[in-house]
Amino acid sequence: MRGTSFPRVPPCQLRPTLPRVQDGRRLLLAIGVITSPGLPFRRTFLRAALMRFEEPQIVQRFVVGCIMKNTSQIQQEILQHGDIVVTGKADETGAACVEKSFGWWALAVHAFPAASFLAKTDDDSLNLYGNLADILRARSLVASGRMLYVGWPQYASFLPEYNVPCGWSGGPNGALSRGGCNVCKNHHFCYVRGVSTGEPINASTRGPFVFATGALQVLSRPLAARTFTGPHAAEFVRRASLSRRERFPDERNHLPWAKPWWEPWECQFEDLTVGYAIFEASQALNLSVDFVALSDMVGDAGPTVRELATQVTVHKLELEPARLAAMAAHEAELNRRRHAQEVVRQQRERWMRRLRPMLERLNASTRAPRREWVCYGRESLAGGSAPEGRRARHERLLIAQQQGPESAAVSRAQAGQERAARAFVSGLATAAQGWRLCLLSVQDEMRLRAAPVIDLGP
């Protein structure tokens, strides 16, 4: 196999943070915010938010990579705030957010040895730390002593020979169909003259597995330590970071070499890549994990948002007036040149300006009512997989319908939870390790979905 080499990057102008004990306090949570060095407004906004939430057992660090130029802003923040973590990989590259994320996880295990949980988020996410702290302290989740993985769940599989994911889905059943895992479709290496070949992929597929979206990923510290300080993650990082990318013959088009088949890390798959590392660690070390699903509590900011007090994370924020104005002006200029009428960025500017004061009013008193959680495992669902269990559920639903619409709605919600949990505990590749799915109680889930929605449009 031949390969291609890429030019060396200039030396880093910031000293990388060493993996040593920095904070030995008994913390509830240490959270790393993956941030771009050139966006100080976001860091200032998130520092102020942390102070308003008044959670002394939560510490927040901003994670940047190796910066080759214009380091004065970051150096000033290091001196002023002392909350910047510098990883050893280059920043502002196509793979920077993935490399910063893996760097943070490995460093945080050593830097915060007494923290109960470690987490990663983005600098365009606002976390309501009061609600998050209540979840991480919930007795129904922590009493068992099992390792926890917390976030908004998505599902996928992975093709390790190509270093790419496949089968991304919002539910376990979609991931089980493995779209793009068995047939060459929608991957870079599948295209011949701009068209996916549709040929079978003769490669091993790992998964399907669950992962938490990048807006918020929380791990109990033992799970983070076993995943990111072990040999499996180290080898994964080493291979994924190779500057030499092999090429393969393209006989179809009579070309000696085609595009690189080993795909480099991409920021859009950061969360999935972290989930894959956790999955492989659980397989190698036989780790049994409870996944705590924050569905409907983590959401993207758009023309509407859920009532903020019910949320844990509001994602895809852009609150800096200068950046909003610049993006709207750029859109207007493009419209002028193309004789178009696009207004997406102008609308987004209005939405964000209306949302910002609401976010700035959030504080320690902004809390959802205490919620109860139910963790579904094989044992708790064993009866439901038998014919008698299905008949019993059908009978309960009929009785509930006779009792009234509210009772019927509760029964339908309960049946929906059981279906999702059954696909999770038996259909995913983590079934052998006894992974469980933890969901809000049916009553709390129904209250959350009934909460009002804030309209920011048009």
Let me know whether 138 and 232 are in one domain. Answer: yes
Q: Is 222 helix (H, G, I), strand (E, B) or coil?
A: helix
Let me know whether 293 and 442 are in one domain. Answer: no
Q: Give the domain-ending residue among 306, 327, 344.
A: 306
CATH code of the domain containing 111: 3.90.550
How many beta carbons lie within 10 A of that of residue 381, not counting itself?
19
Residue with the two structure tokens 């300006």: 353
How many structural domains comprise the chain?
A: 2
Q: How far is CA 446 from the centre of its chain?
A: 24
Let me know whether 163 and 74 are in one domain. Answer: yes
Specify the DSSP element, H or E, that contains 228: helix 221-228
Instruction: Please answer whether residues 241 and 99 qualify as being in contact, where contact means their C-beta atoms are separated by less than 8 angstroms.
Output: yes
DSSP code of 127?
E
Cα–Cα distance for residue pair 184/198, rounded to 1 Å: 5
Residue environment code for 433-445, b if the CB has 16+ CB neighbours within 10 A, otherwise e: ebbbbbbbbbebb
| The one-letter amino acid at 299 | G
| The one-letter amino acid at 418 | E
| The one-letter amino acid at 403 | Q
DSSP letter string over 179-215? Answer: TTTSB--SSGGGEETTEE---B--S--EEEEEEEEEE
Let me know whether 406 and 294 are in one domain. Answer: no
Q: pTM of the full predicted structure?
A: 0.89
Let me know whether 264 and 401 are in one domain. Answer: no
Residue with the two structure tokens 């290496």: 189
pLDDT value at residue 172:
78
pLDDT value at residue 255:
56
279 phi and psi, to 5 degrees? -60, -45
Instruction: Please answer whether residues 77 and 250 qualify as being in contact, where contact means their C-beta atoms are separated by less than 8 angstroms.
Output: no
Let me know whether 203 and 105 are in one domain. Answer: yes
- Among 97, 433, 140, which residue's Cα sits nearest to residue 272? 97
Cα–Cα distance for residue pair 80/290, rounded to 1 Å: 39
Instruction: Tell me if 163 is assigned to some domain.
Output: yes
Instruction: Tell me if 365 is assigned to some domain.
Output: no
- 340-380: pLDDT as tens digits: 888 888 999 999 999 999 999 999 999 999 999 999 998 88
Specify the DSSP element, H or E, that contains 292: strand 289-293
Let me know whether 100 and 201 are in one domain. Answer: yes
Instruction: Tell me if 54 is assigned to some domain.
Output: yes
pLDDT value at residue 383:
57
Residue with the two structure tokens 């030396």: 11
Let me know whether 299 and 394 are in one domain. Answer: no
Is the Cα dihedral 332, 338, 340, 344 positive or negative? negative
3-state helix, strand, coil in the chain (%, to 5): 45, 20, 35
Ranges of residues in the chain whose predicted pLDDT is under 70:
1-11, 68, 176-179, 191-194, 241-262, 383-406
Instruction: Tell me if 16 is assigned to some domain.
Output: no
Can you give the residue range of the structural domain that contains 395? 370-455
Cα-based distances in Å from 141 to 268, 367, 420, 434, 438: 30, 19, 19, 16, 8
Cα-based distances in Å from 36 to 73, 98, 103, 129, 294: 11, 13, 15, 22, 26
Instruction: Tell me if 382 is assigned to some domain.
Output: yes
Let me know whether 43 and 118 are in one domain. Answer: yes
Instruction: Tell me if 228 is assigned to some domain.
Output: yes
Cα–Cα distance for residue pair 149/389, rounded to 1 Å: 29
Instruction: Tell me if 322 is assigned to some domain.
Output: no
Let me know whether 290 and 430 are in one domain. Answer: no
Let me know whether 375 and 302 are in one domain. Answer: no
Let me know whether 75 and 203 are in one domain. Answer: yes
Instruction: Please answer whether residues 310 and 451 qualify as being in contact, where contact means their C-beta atoms are separated by less than 8 angstroms.
Output: yes
Instruction: Tell me if 338 is assigned to some domain.
Output: no
Is it true that the peptide bond before 208 is cis, omega within 30 degrees of 0? yes
- Among 30, 60, 23, 29, which residue's Cα sits nearest to residue 45? 60
pLDDT value at residue 252:
58
- 113-126: pLDDT as tens digits: 999 999 999 999 99
Instruction: Please answer whether residues 21 and 113 qualify as being in contact, where contact means their C-beta atoms are separated by less than 8 angstroms.
Output: yes
